[in-house]
Amino acid sequence: MGETDRSAAGPAAGYHYQAQRALLTLLNEPVGSGRELAMETLDDLAISDHESMVDLEQLKHSIRKSALTDRSPALWSALENWMDFLGTTRFAQIRQLVLVATDDVPTDSAPARLREDRRKPQEAEARLLAVAQERPGNKDTKAARERFAALSKRDRGTLLSKIIVRDGTAGVTEFRPQLEQALGLALPRAGVDEFLDQLVGWWEKRVVDLLVGRLKSVIYDEVAEEVGRLRDMYNDAALPPPDPALKGSLSDALAAAYAKAPFVHQLQFLALHDERVRLAIRDYHRAYAQRSNWLQEGILVTDELLEWEQRLIEEWERAWVRMLESVNEDDDEGAVSAGRVLLSELEDSTLNPLRSGRDRFLHIGTLHGLADARHVGWHREFEARLEAVFGPKRPLARTSSTFEEIGGSA
C-alpha cells in the first residue's frame, strides 16, 4: 500500500464512522421522541427536538487508537468549531456539545473531567487554559489555543458547561455488533447478516441524500419503519429478496457446462427451442445458488426444502396421470405436445408455493432440479430414455446434484 493509500484511509474510515454513528444514534432514540438527525449542518451530527433544542456531535475516529489528551489536535479542533457559536442566538438552543472519539482519555486530563460520569468543568478549564497559554506549543493548535485563552472566564465556563466527552467508542470495524445490539428484538431469527446488509444499504442511500441536500433530516420513525418492513421479509411466512447478483444472464460457458445434465435432456425430449432450454438452465442455476445461500444463512432448512419438493412431486404425479390418459400410446407427436403442456402447466402452477411463493425462478428452477434427479419428467418415456443415457436411477437420490457437480455458484 502506497503513501497515498495510507493517507486516504483515515478520511474514508471517518466517513463510514459518521454514517454508522448516525444510524446507531437514531436506533437508540426513545420510541416516539420525534427527534431529527441532520449531517454536516451545524456539526458532524445535529440531533434536534420539537422544542428546537439541539445536540451537536463532533466525531473523531482514529484508525490506530491512542490517547485524547489536553494537547490533542482533535480536542482543540472541536473547541475551535464550538467557539464560533459563542455570542450567537443559536448558542442558547444548543443543549449539548458532544465530542465523540474512538481514542481513550487519560484519567488525569481535561477531557476526562468533561465525561458524563465525572464532570468537573472548572478543573477542565484550568488545565485547558494552561495548555492554551503554553509557548510556543503545538503550531497546529495555536489559533484555537489563542482564541480559548482570549475568551472571558464567563464565556469559557459557559462553553465548557455544555461540552461532554464520550471517549473509547467503537470504531468502524466494530459496527456490526453495535448494530445488532441496537436492533435487539427487531433482528430476525434467521438471515441476520442479509437483513443487516439490506438495512445498511438503505441507510447509505439516506446518508447520501443528507450530504447532498436532498434531505434535511431523518427521524427515528423512518428508520423504525424500514426496520419493520425488512423484518416482515424475514418472517416464517416469507422469504427475503433474492440476491440480485444471481440474476445476471447465463454465460455461454455455464450453459455449455449444463448441456449434458439430465434435466436438459428432458427438455430436449420435447424438442424445445434453444432459447427455452437456456431460460430453464438459468432458472435452475439461479434457484440452486439461491437455495444454497439461504441454507448457509439459516433462512431455509433442509427439511423444509425436502417437504416442499415432495409436494411438488405429488402435484406432478396427479398432472402426469392426467397427461397419460390424454395421449394414445402410438401417438409420438401427441406425446411431445402433451409433455410441453405438462411442463408449462407445472411451471405456471401456484398450488404449492415455498412460503410466499413470490419468486418464480425458485419454483421453476426447483422443478428442473427434480427433473434432474429423475423424480419428475415431461415426456411419457422419460424414464427409459434417461436410463439409456445415464443408466439406472440412483435409488436414494433426493434432489438434483448437477449444481454441485458443476461447481456450485460458479
Residues 68 and 200 in one domain: yes
pLDDT in tens, 54-105: 999 999 999 988 899 999 999 999 999 999 999 999 999 999 999 999 999 9
Global model pTM greater than 0.75: no
What is the structure's pLDDT at 2? 37
Residues 268 and 172 in one domain: no
**Of the residues 198, 233, 268, the one at which a domain ends:** 233
Report the half-sphere exposure of 27 (CA within 13 A, side-chain side). Answer: 22
The answer to whether position 313 is within a domain reads yes
Residues 171 and 269 in one domain: no
The answer to whether position 246 is within a domain reads no
What is the structure's pLDDT at 410? 47
Residues 366 and 331 in one domain: yes
The answer to whether position 242 is within a domain reads no
pLDDT in tens, 133-148: 998 889 999 999 999 9
What is the structure's pLDDT at 1? 34
Residues 125 and 195 in one domain: yes
Is it the case that residue 397 has pLDDT exceeding 80? no
75-84, 257-266, 307-316, 327-336: least confident range: 327-336
Residues 270 and 209 in one domain: no
Is it the case that residue 4 has pLDDT exceeding 60? no
pLDDT in tens, 335-374: 999 999 999 999 999 999 998 777 899 999 999 999 999 9
The answer to whether position 333 is within a domain reads yes
Is it the case that residue 409 has pLDDT exceeding 60? no
Residues 272 and 161 in one domain: no
- Dist CA 152 CA 148 (whole Å): 9
Q: How many CB atoms lie within 10 A of CB 342?
A: 23
- Dist CA 305 CA 308 (whole Å): 5
Mean pLDDT of 119-126: 96
The answer to whether position 324 is within a domain reads yes
Residues 83 and 180 in one domain: yes
Residues 9 and 102 in one domain: yes
Q: How confident is the model at residue 3 (pLDDT cuts 50, 70, 90)?
A: very low
Residue 208 near residue 52, CB atoms below 8 Å: no
The answer to whether position 128 is within a domain reads yes
The answer to whether position 247 is within a domain reads no
Residues 118 and 196 in one domain: yes
What is the structure's pLDDT at 5? 43
Residues 189 and 273 in one domain: no
Domain extent, residue 19, equals 3-233
**Of the residues 199, 233, 267, the one at which a domain ends:** 233
pLDDT in tens, 224-243: 999 998 888 777 777 888 88
Residue 43 near residue 80, CB atoms below 8 Å: no
Residues 56 and 173 in one domain: yes
What is the structure's pLDDT at 45? 97
Domain count, the chain: 2
Mean pLDDT of 289-316: 92
**Of the residues 233, 268, 297, the one at which a domain ends:** 233
The answer to whether position 241 is within a domain reads no
Q: What percent of the chain has pLDDT over 90?
A: 74
Is it the case that residue 407 has pLDDT exceeding 80? no
- Residue scoring higher pLDDT (301 or 370): 370
- Dist CA 409 CA 401 (whole Å): 13
Is it the case that residue 164 has pLDDT exceeding 70? yes
